[in-house]
Amino acid sequence: MRVRDDFELIISWIEKDSRVLDLGCGDGSLLKLLKNKKNITGYGIDNNIKQINKSIENEINVLNFDLNDGLGEFKNDSFDYVVLAQSIQEIKDPKKLLNEMLRIGKEVIVSFPNMGHWTSRMQLFFKGRMPVTSELPFRWHETPNIHLCTINDFIIFCGDNGFTIKEKSITSRNFIDSYMISLLPNFFGSVASFRIE
Amino acid sequence: MSLNIKTETARIDDEIKLSSGKKLMSYDIKYETYGHLSDKKDNAVLICHALSGNHHAAGRYKGEEKSGWWDNMIGPGKPINTDKLFVVCPNNLGGCHGSTGPNCINDKTGEYFGSKFPIVTVSDWVNSQKSLLNHLNIPFWRCVIGGSLGGMQSLQWSLEYPELIKNCIIIAAAPKLTAQNIAFNEVARQAIMKDPDWCGGDYLKEKKSPDQGLSLARMLGHITYLSDDSMKKKFGRDLQQPNLKFNYEVEFEIESYLRYQGTKFVSNFDANTYLLMTKSLDYFDPIKDYGDKIQRMLSKTTCKFLVISFTSDWRFPPHRSKEIVELLLDNNKPVSYAEINSSGGHDAFLMENENYFKTMDNFIKRLR
């Protein structure tokens, strides 16, 4: 199976033998890769029992918590990295969660689908319809995504809340997009990943 | 493969010093086993029963209509798979189904223990189960599994004998009882002790039986095991007869059900054991008992934990199970936690549920 672009990047950012908390871990694939490649320890969190069961199948330590309840179960600085990979759009209060992530982790990694990608813009502009893309496959009335944003939105959000961006990387699956990304990241990037302190 | 059910009694001749300071010089532990112990003796699993449970967890005896209390979970091809695992389920010390308890004759006096039987705690049970482990000549438990009061024993195992347990499953449990939990237990105890036939605990000697009290205690307990929703679904306000009778006989289905449960329980349970079990629940509080020592105890365990709770359980609701998870997280222990959507109340841990069984199956298949 092909590894998700943001996963490859996140794996490259994480140091060996570190402690990782993966928020919205799904079936635990990222933690499983990190365990095999970087010998990390840690936990995944998800609120869907089917995903919990898949994570257990993947031999990941997984916790059936709701991220909207906060991360009160964890002590300050108890992880080297706290990862939120393509789940921020489902969080009720992203600012509160990011502050919590920074409290319990030395470094925070956030990746999200870019709502500013040209395919989304075109759908809204020409069809007059809410965008449905490979990264955001839901129609407006069935989507769990309540807080979608563009790359520019996220950078402003970090600035407004005093989150320091240590590194960012914008990727795309499409060959032409990848070629143009450095020129207009918010137009050609489909997934953005940020390291925050 | 077949379940290979065996029922045995182990005579333990090691003296056991109980939490209360009292001692038992020797005692019997009745237990049942399922499956086969591997040549390496590395596939033994301990099942700890809850308040009203016993050693008969799975399978059906000849001529019996009902199977063991966890028959849906334990057996060939089931989550606790007896094709792979050697499963041991003892009746707890102080129980009333074959292990030494208040309804047994004290060898020393030739009389029933009755009121003289000492109160035993979760820790005492774990110590007696450790003696059973030795008796069976098994080097360690691949996994200790329990629901409710049984879950408390699983947790206690990981604390007390970290080197003897590789995996630990704690279901529908809490690290201690709340005031409300204790309050329910106290009403149950009062129901028994206020029954004139209880005779200060020595009813067997007096050839009496506090059936009224015990059945009341069970009726009360039963309400706390179900959820409002499940009672609504099962009984609603259904009447046994079409019209109200304007008297105090059984009218509503729920009344009939509770009385039936109470009466049925009395026929195979001992009132003193019920008192003892509820007391043991009330006393359980390892975090307070061990204080700072608990971190050192947990640091010794390499055990992998699975904690499971049920949404409609109001006896030990999910946030109570999470207290156990937090203790383990604070100590960097490998733990998974699953919260199962169910309307079954506290008893959900005994009921079939697709997600719950999948959680158990996935975890147990990968025991190391």
pLDDT for residue A1: 54
- Residues of A in CB contact (< 8 Å) with B are 41, 43, 49-50, 52-53, 55-57, 59-65, 73-75
Active site residue B99: no
Give the pLDDT mean for B65-78.
96
**Binary contact (A49, B339; C-beta < 8 A):** yes
Range of the domain at A108: 5-196
Query: One of B99, B128, B346, B347 is an active-site residue; which one?
Result: B346
Asked if A108 contacts A81 with a C-beta cutoff of 8 angstroms, the reply is yes
Our CA-based measurement puts residue B357 at a distance from the nearest CA of chain A, in whole angstroms, of 10
Summarize pLDDT for B304-348 with one digit per residue, the tens.
Answer: 999 999 999 999 999 999 999 999 999 999 999 999 999 999 999
**Which residues of A fall within a CB distance of 8 Å from B329?**
43, 73-74
Under CATH, domain B6-177+286-365 is a member of which superfamily?
Alpha/Beta hydrolase fold, catalytic domain (3.40.50.1820)
pLDDT for residue A175: 77
Pairwise CA distance, residues A136 & A144, whole Å: 10
Residues of chain B with CATH 1.10.1740.110: 181-279
Active site residue B148: yes
**Binary contact (A63, B334; C-beta < 8 A):** no
Considering only alpha carbons, which residue of chain A is nearest residue B319?
Answer: A65
**Binary contact (A52, B336; C-beta < 8 A):** yes
In the 3-class helix/strand/coil scheme, how is chain B assigned residue by residue?
Answer: CCCCCEEEEEEECCCEECCCCCEECCEEEEEEEECCCCCCCCCEEEEECCCCCCCCCCCCCCCCCCCCCCCCCEECCCCEECCCCEEEEECCCCCCCCCCCCCCEECCCCEECHHHCCCCCHHHHHHHHHHHHHHCCCCCECEEEEECHHHHHHHHHHHHCHHHECEEEEECCCCCCCHHHHHHHHHHHHHHHCCHHHHHHCCCCCCCCCHHHHHHHHHHHHHHHCCHHHHHHHCCCCECCCCCCCCCCCCEHHHHHHHHHHHHHHHCCCHHHHHHHHHHHHHCCHHHHHCCHHHHHHHCCCCEEEEEEECCCCCCCHHHHHHHHHHHHHCCCCEEEEEECCCCHHHHHHCCCHHHHHHHHHHHHCCC
How far is CA B22 from each of CA A15, A136, B193, B216, B259, rounded to the nearest angstrom? 55, 66, 23, 30, 37
CATH of the domain at A178: 3.40.50.150
> Among residues of chain B, what percentage have pLDDT more than 70?
100
Pairing of strands B80-81, B304-310: unpaired
Query: One of B154, B313, B321, B342 is an active-site residue; which one?
Result: B313
Which of B330, B337, B341 is closest, CB to CB, to A63? B337
pLDDT for residue A100: 97
Q: Is the pLDDT of residue A2 over 70?
A: no
Residues of chain B with CATH 3.40.50.1820: 6-177+286-365
Pairwise CA distance, residues B133 & B90, whole Å: 11
Summarize pLDDT for A159-193 with one digit per residue, the tens.
Answer: 999 999 999 999 887 777 888 888 899 999 999 99
pLDDT for residue A23: 98
Asked if A133 contacts A114 with a C-beta cutoff of 8 angstroms, the reply is no
Our CA-based measurement puts residue A11 at a distance from the nearest CA of chain B, in whole angstroms, of 21
Active site residue B282: no
pLDDT for residue B286: 97
pLDDT for residue B159: 96
pLDDT for residue B283: 98
Summarize pLDDT for A59-79 with one digit per residue, the tens.
Answer: 999 999 999 999 999 999 999
> Among residues of chain A, what percentage have pLDDT more than 70?
99
**Which residues of B fall within a CB distance of 8 Å from A43?**
329, 335
**Binary contact (A56, B359; C-beta < 8 A):** yes
Summarize pLDDT for B95-126 with one digit per residue, the tens.
Answer: 999 999 999 999 999 999 999 999 999 999 99
Summarize pLDDT for A100-131 with one digit per residue, the tens.
Answer: 999 999 999 999 999 999 999 999 999 999 99
For the ranges A142-146, B82-86, B169-173, B185-189, the lowest mean pLDDT is seen at: A142-146
Give the pLDDT mean for B32-37.
98
pLDDT for residue A4: 80
Q: If 0-12 CB within 10 Å is exposed, 13-18 middle and 19+ buried, where does residue B367 land? A: middle
> Among residues of chain B, what percentage have pLDDT more than 90?
96
- Calculate the average pLDDT of chain A: 94
pLDDT for residue B281: 98
Judged by a CB distance cut-off of 8 A, whether residue B295 touches chain A is no
CATH of domain B181-279: 1.10.1740.110
For helices A94-104 and A151-161, give the axis angle rounded to 10 degrees. Answer: 60
Q: How confident is the model at residue B62 (pLDDT cuts 50, 70, 90)?
A: confident
**Which residues of A fall within a CB distance of 8 Å from B326?**
73
Query: Cβ neighbours of residue A179 under 8 Å, at least 6 residues apart?
Result: none
Summarize pLDDT for B75-88 with one digit per residue, the tens.
Answer: 999 999 999 999 99
pLDDT for residue B282: 98
**Binary contact (B341, A49; C-beta < 8 A):** yes
Q: How many domains does chain A have?
A: 1
Pairwise CA distance, residues B85 & B59, whole Å: 15
